[in-house]
Amino acid sequence: MTMLRHALLLAGALASTGLAAYPKDPYGSPMWDYNLERYLGEKAEVVLDDRVNLEVPPFAEDSSQVPLTVDLSGFDAPVQKVITWVDLNPIPHLFTYVPQTRVTVVSLNFRVQQATTVRAAVQDESGVWHVGSAHVDAAGGGCTAPSQASSDPNWEEHFGQIRGGAFSPANQSRLKVYVRHPMDSGMVGNIPAFHIETLEIRDTAGGQDEPLLKMTLSESAAENPMFVFELPDAPPQYEVWMRDNNGNQFQRQVGEAL
């Protein structure tokens, strides 16, 4: 039995029990109830909310590099957590992040296995989950395609290199961070899963080491990921710290554009 068929059967079983009372999915995905319960919890209070501005292209020209942006600028109060997933990917979860300060935009590229709906769920201070959705059409195969690093005998020369900087001179709030990592999904023969699983942005101004946000990633994230964050209360200096599932750690001080 395929993973997707198994998930569909579970989704149908859950729906028949009446355990979850979620709003109707505007995209009619068969994975709607199942993934809501899987990632948000059986008793989660869920509402559809246009303030969760989730942007993906209508068609993925490259299924292994699909841009995604979550814009939270419509929320006046700080949010507690953000979880994103891709309904029909073999591993739907993309990232979870917990901001320690206000973050209005999060962006990175992901893989897509077939045409699918993408979700972003935002938890507010009272514990309610606000969900936004978008659909991306695709030729597919992004999750089962080998990384470019797998065919490059010299990939280790640049492995773990981090580049980035603070941008927007009029408003020093945008942080871009790029890291060289194969981000292997584990779905290609003889190539095990090898991906960044934890990222932290820390405020190092004035000798501090305070986390501004913490993010966990899954195998759906794209190779050589570029992260974009917008932080209205941006400090002048950051430390970017990452760890992959093999225990490798990477860090770099980031200030002006590099």
The tens digit of pLDDT for each residue in 121-161 reads: 999 999 999 999 999 999 888 888 878 776 677 888 889 99
CA 183 remoteness from chain centre: 13
**Pairing between strand 59-60 and 93-99?**
unpaired
Q: From 211, 200, 230, select the one nearest 105 (Cα to Cα).
A: 230
Q: From 17, 55, 52, select the one nearest 37 (Cα to Cα).
A: 17
User: Count of CB atoms within 10 A of residue 67's CB?
Assistant: 17
Helix/strand/coil percent split, the chain, to 5:
15, 40, 45
Q: Spell out the domains of the chain, with CATH numbers in brackets.
A: 44-254 (2.60.40.2470)
Report the distance separating Cα 218 and Cα 105, nearest Å.
Answer: 19
CA angle at residue 106 from 55 to 256, to 5 degrees? 130
Q: What pLDDT is recorded for position 181?
A: 94
pLDDT per residue as tens digits for the range 31-90: 999 999 999 998 999 999 999 999 999 999 999 999 999 999 999 888 999 999 999 999
**Distances, alpha carbon 83 to alpha carbons 58, 147, 166, 207, 216, in Å:** 21, 25, 25, 31, 10
Report the distance separating Cα 231 and Cα 253, nearest Å.
Answer: 17
